Every structure is written in structure tokens, then in C-alpha cells.
Amino acid sequence: MTQPGAHFQLTRSIAAPPERLWSLLTEPKARELWGAPSDKATLVLEKADLREGGQERHRCGPADNPEFVVDTHWYHLSAPDLACFTETISAGGTRFAVTLVTYALVAAGDGTTLTVDVGLAPLTDGDMRDDFQQGWNSGLDRLERFIKEDAFA
């Protein structure tokens, strides 16, 4: 029996203006740097089409076997304030979950308050909420670290 849907929201104060943060959240090559679910994982973008109605595909997982396929569909892009997209996560031909994700960016002094809202629909047995929340937190930690180190310059 699949688990019921879940929801979580993450809010961060990011030391980058909204325009800069927007590009780091949406630009495919930047997402490859910070977007993996852990420091030991990799994210490889296979197809990128950043526009409303655009679809993307990336793989993530261990560097030697990024077995998880993530298909993204962009529904709303309002730079630099709001983005909405879904992700379908699968591996080995089995779909595990679908997420609905919203990025909301609000200027806050020299930085940005970023709110990531994630609705999770599990498609297999097992409670995935904690895994997804941990993955998003890890990615945002890396994003903040790279901004601090100016790794995107």
C-alpha cells in the first residue's frame, strides 16, 4: 500500500539578491553543482528546456551509478520571484514519487528569503517524506556554501 501524500516547506535567508539566486535555482549548469541530494551524490542534466511548458531530465545518485531519473516539467516562471514545477522520480522503470515544487523569492536587504514548498505524492510503499526533505535541505546547504565561496563566479 502506498503512503499518503506529504508536504513540507523550507525557508532560508540566502546571501544573494533575488536576480542572482533565481539564476542559480533555474540555470541548468548551476543546478548540477548544488542540486544533488547529498555531498556524495551527483546530478547530471541530460535535457534542459527552461521555459513555461519546458521539460527537463536529469539523473542523480552515486557518481558511479546515477540511477535515479528525474523528469521535470516547468509550469510557471516569473523571474525573479516565483517558479512552479513538478518532478517525477524513477529508477529501473519504476516511478517512486511525483513532487510539486514552488520557489518563492523575496528580497530581504542585500539577500533573499527563499521558500521552497514541496508537495510529495509517493507512488510506492514506504514513507519518503524524510528522504525528500533531507535531500532538499542538503541541496540548499550546498547552494548556500557555494554562494559563500563564490563558486559560481
- The answer as to whether 153 is a domain residue is no
- Give residue 1's pLDDT: 47
DSSP state of 3: P
- The answer as to whether 45 is a domain residue is yes
CATH code of the domain covering residue 10: 3.30.530.20
For residues 119 and 9, give the distance between their C-alpha atoms in angstroms, rounded to a whole number.
Answer: 9
- The answer as to whether 142 is a domain residue is yes
pLDDT in tens, 93-124: 999 999 999 999 999 999 999 999 999 999 98
Long-range contacts of 101-105 (CB under 8 A, 24+ apart): 103/25, 105/18, 105/21, 105/22, 105/25, 105/80, 105/81
Helix pair 129-148, 18-26: axis angle to 10 deg:
130
Task: Decide if pLDDT at 45 tops 50.
Answer: yes
- Give residue 3's pLDDT: 65
- Our measurement of the distance from residue 42's CA atom to the centroid of its chain's CA atoms, rounded to an integer in Å, reads 13
pTM over 0.75: yes
* Per-chain mean pLDDT for the chain: 93
The number of distinct structural domains making up the chain is: 1
Domain span including residue 129: 6-148
- The answer as to whether 1 is a domain residue is no
pLDDT in tens, 54-93: 999 999 999 999 999 999 999 999 999 999 999 999 999 9
